[in-house]
Amino acid sequence: QVQLVESGGGLVQPGGSLSLSCAASGSIFGINAMGWYRQAPGKERELVASITSGGTTNYADSVKGRFILSRGNAKNTVYLQMNSLNVEDTAVYYCKARKYGIDYWGKGTLVAVSS
């Protein structure tokens, strides 16, 4: 089993920045990708950004140039730096890890962008 603990999030004004982090623990050997998804009220969960074990990153078009995904040296922690936030970024953000084809999810953290 893989456990994911997210931190960060909160309320920010439009144009502001927030940082999220996600730490994986438990049986982390074999994790081949980690990333962030988000789900806004009334919408489906969508990919925000992901990174493979080889370091290849992938971003949703809506966040390219504004969000930066990085990971720690131990590769079991990922960070999402979110800049130039707008109201459309308001959602619950979930961390996901994939291991041997199985997806593990964190509990989610709320990011609210409002003036």
Digit-coded pLDDT (tens) for 50-82: 999 999 999 999 999 999 999 987 778 999 999
Residues 6, 105: Cα–Cα separation, whole Å: 10
**Per-residue model confidence (pLDDT) at position 75:** 77
What pLDDT is attached to residue 74?
76
What pLDDT, on a 0 to 100 scale, did the predictor assign at position 97?
Answer: 97
Q: Residues in the chain with pLDDT < 50?
A: none
CA dihedral 45, 48, 52, 54 (to 10 degrees): 170
Query: Which amino acid appears at position 57 of this protein?
Result: T
What is the predicted pLDDT for the residue at 72?
86
φ/ψ of 3, rounded to 5, equals: -110, 140
Structure tokens at 50: 């992901």
Confidence at residue 73, expressed as pLDDT on a 0 to 100 scale: 77
